[in-house]
Structure 1
């Protein structure tokens, strides 16, 4: 009799370990039980056998620290199980679906799992609600389901592109998820073109990446400007023409023996959202090198002054003390005009320098180049 009792305790303890391990594994968003009832059965077993299973191993270990840890595991389990009760009715519904939902059917609205639409080998495609998104994913998402074991399956969303014709249609509705290879390539290119247009919009500056290549240092009036800010590349994405014949997002004016100014609005990833580059020169006399720097970044102002020779970078969305970086006279930035054609309204050049903020931070501008029309 004692041997039978010991055998039952040992089996219960190892069953607790297996069920707890399965519960932890299925915390991965892609891994889930193939049947809802199996999931609830594993969860219930892992909690009901917690104290007896942990106690069985705790009494048989010679390591006191490990024994203490084993005795704490069931307490943590039940505390975690009680926490959803703080959310009242939603918590009760969660506990029911976690422990007591013994629905044995694979499909249906209540389970959030649709019937298979496509099949290829052992994998199927169906619509189902994605775990952790049940409130925002009421209508379900097209997913590819691949069995891992008799108990578990791997679930991944189909994604923005359609599936190819190697899938067998099980439901006529599944045909809407299939396209030919030619259609897939065309769809992918259309999607990438759409992203490119978003990147070219000032309203979608968050999509601009730091890894964009710098534009070539041309002298043709191509409407480009680029530079590296602390090693991260920047370039304008608005290359359309405005009503004045210039480039969208870039405002340039220059007059021989008079002022030169260039303002360019460049997109940035969040949270900065916008980066504004300004080049200001009071006495432009044609081709050559100019040194730009104000007495102090504390003098930063958009108002023109006699000291208005500077290279400035303004980052909207950052704190006020680090919003404006400016070249100073003690360490001036360098501007080189490499091409100027007053008849064709083209000006091109390069720039670089170390900029300073009010707080004392610095920003290195390197590989700067522009090729724009006035």
Structure 2
């Protein structure tokens, strides 16, 4: 009898709006959670309400193999993020996303939606932007593709941070 494995989505943190300091998503169906320590936080959120109409940067990394020394990174951010709502991801949008995988060879190790050769589509939904409590939370999904490389599908993304 085969042991049942939990569904990948059930291994993600819940999508909360309390400043729980959580981040998670599925990358091509596999659980991605920030982990490890490279001398800087593996999950950083910076929100500057007075810079470029509201500037948001979320940067994460993980070490998939405990002693592998290589990282994977999921990042997102943008400008003119000043309210609860949906923000589109695309080549000429004000919201940017990226996926970096040190396990892949160039050019397939880096996908950034500001690169002309990279196809990008998706959304970032800000569900809470509470400056007085210092909490920003939301959900995200996006697809990145470039010629000759695997397509990266990031789904079920969620973040909740009190920076």
TM interval, shorter chain, is 0.7 to 0.9
Q: Does the C-alpha gap of structure 1 residues 255 and 286 become closer, same or farther in structure 2, counting only changes over 3 Å?
A: farther
Q: Does the C-alpha gap of structure 1 residues 227 and 362 become closer, same or farther in structure 2, counting only changes over 3 Å?
A: same
Give 1:323 shift: 0.8
Which has more strand, going by share of residues? 2
What is the aligned partner in structure 1 of residue 43 from structure 2? 250
What is the aligned partner in structure 1 of residue 31 from structure 2? 233
What is the aligned partner in structure 2 of residue 350 from structure 1? 139
Which has more helix, going by share of residues? 1
**Deviations along 1:184-229, whole A, 9 cap, x unmatched?**
xxxxxxxxxxxxxxxxxxxxxxxxxx89810111111111100001
CA distance in 1, matches of 2:145, 2:15: 26
What is the aligned partner in structure 1 of residue 128 from structure 2? 339
Which runs of structure 2 are paired with 1:2-21 in the superposition (5 Å)?
none
Which runs of structure 2 are paired with 1:1-374 in the superposition (5 Å)?
213-237=11-35, 248-256=41-49, 257-269=53-65, 273-294=70-91, 309-327=95-113, 331-357=120-146, 359-374=148-163
CA distance in 2, matches of 1:272, 1:232: 20
Q: Does the C-alpha gap of structure 1 residues 367 and 275 become closer, same or farther in structure 2, counting only changes over 3 Å?
A: same
Q: Does the C-alpha gap of structure 1 residues 360 and 233 become closer, same or farther in structure 2, counting only changes over 3 Å?
A: same
Give 1:361 shift: 2.8
**RMSD across aligned positions (CA):** 2.9
Q: Which runs of 5+ in 1 are unaligned?
A: 1-209, 243-247, 296-306
3-state DSSP of counterpart to 1:332: strand
Q: Does the C-alpha gap of structure 1 residues 331 and 322 become closer, same or farther in structure 2, counting only changes over 3 Å?
A: closer
Give 1:335 shift: 0.2
**Deviations along 1:291-318, whole A, 9 cap, x unmatched?**
01225xxxxxxxxxxx662211111232
Bigger Rg over Cα: 1
What is the aligned partner in structure 2 of residue 36 from structure 1? none
**Deviations along 1:155-195, whole A, 9 cap, x unmatched?**
xxxxxxxxxxxxxxxxxxxxxxxxxxxxxxxxxxxxxxxxx
8 A Cα contact 1:339 1:349, kept in partner: yes
Give 1:285 shift: 1.5
**Deviations along 1:87-129, whole A, 9 cap, x unmatched?**
xxxxxxxxxxxxxxxxxxxxxxxxxxxxxxxxxxxxxxxxxxx
